[in-house]
Amino acid sequence: MEVIIKEDYEEISKLAAQIIAGIVRINPRAVLGLATGGTPVGCYRELVRMHGEEDLDFSQIVTFNLDEYVGIAKDHEQSYYRFMWDNLFSHVNVVPANVHIPDGNAEDLHVACDEYEIEMDEHGGVDIQLLGIGSNGHLAFNEPGSSLGSRTRIKTLTERTRQDNSRFFENIDEVPKYCVTMGIGTIMESGKLLLLANGANKAEAIAAAVEGPITASVPASAIQLHPDVTVIMDRAASSKLTREYHSQPHFLEGEEQ
């Protein structure tokens, strides 16, 4: 696992975008696993800039999102569908048919979850999965106690997650209670994992995920079993880590920051 500590959110976002862009340039048909929430917004902004200024091409890229709320309309301000179009897809040349976001309004959610897994398989699986982490250690919406072998399915959000996400809604009662999420087992099959964290409220969770025991009580700790993981965080999120880490990934060592 490569753990990189940056000074601030801007630096995390730039490095994350650089890593994703590197994969897109090597493989223009790459399958990107994408996340929502506050954390990846800066990374998406940087990818949009690279598309506009550096010809980063998304025309053959395929995307699969981690999760979606159940029961809010696609065009609801806080749906993850809307988030992805507002923050990334509308600003790059991705082909809409290549975009996959779990359908939180499917008539049969169980069937839709199984089909999502099949579609991922048909595209050869995810090449790089972008991830955030919940303050309770959740990965995607796999809340503490989720099976480390789980697949895409319906989950109930914990009160802590609903509280954390209520900042995006009018009040906590508006935050959906259920979601559809890739499982930990699904995420672990990605070729590479890229986990981002910023802010002091993530310090405990990130320390447990990176240095703690592997346990379903901290679903993000499953990343320790993956052979190709990069974790990028800011100083505040790193404050509870105890080992020595770097400020540059190996592939950039010796280069100017």
The active-site residue out of 68, 143, 164, 234 is 143
Interface with ligand F6R in residues 117-156 (CB under 6 A): 132-134, 138, 140-141
Residue 234 binds ligand F6R, judged by CB under 6 A? no
Q: Single out the residue of 31, 66, 70, 72 in contact with ligand F6R (rule: CB under 6 A).
A: 66
Q: How far apart are CA 111 and CA 115, in angstroms?
A: 6
Least distance to ligand F6R, CB of residue 132, Å: 2
Strands (E), 2-158: 2-6, 31-34, 62-65, 67-69, 99-100, 128-131, 153-156
Q: How far apart are CA 22 and CA 29, in angstroms?
A: 12
Neighbouring-strand partners of residue 2: 230
As to burial, measured by CB atoms within 10 angstroms (0-12 exposed, 13-18 middle, 19+ buried), residue 108 is exposed
The active-site residue out of 68, 127, 138, 164 is 138
CA 220 → CA 32, 62, 86, distances in Å? 19, 25, 27
Q: Single out the residue of 11, 67, 143, 234 in contact with ligand F6R (rule: CB under 6 A).
A: 67
Q: Which residue of the chain is nearest ligand F6R when measured via CB?
A: 132
Q: Single out the residue of 3, 5, 35, 50 in contact with ligand F6R (rule: CB under 6 A).
A: 35
Is 136 catalytic? The answer is yes
Least distance to ligand F6R, CB of residue 54, Å: 26
Residue 3 or 157: the one with the smaller Cβ distance to ligand F6R is: 157
Hey, how many other C-beta atoms are within 10 angstroms of the C-beta on 246? 12
Least distance to ligand F6R, CB of residue 91, Å: 19
Is 138 catalytic? The answer is yes
Nearest to 16 by CA among 131, 127, 94, 120: 131
Q: Single out the residue of 13, 36, 87, 129 in contact with ligand F6R (rule: CB under 6 A).
A: 36
Is 246 catalytic? The answer is no
Nearest to 172 by CA among 181, 182, 159, 184: 159
The active-site residue out of 65, 87, 98, 136 is 136
Terminal alpha carbon distance of the chain? 21
Structure tokens at 136: 């309770």
Residue 66 or 193: the one with the smaller Cβ distance to ligand F6R is: 66
Residue 187 binds ligand F6R, judged by CB under 6 A? no
The residues that are catalytic are 67, 136, 138, 143
Residues that bind ligand F6R (CB under 6 A): 35-39, 66-67, 132-134, 138, 140-141
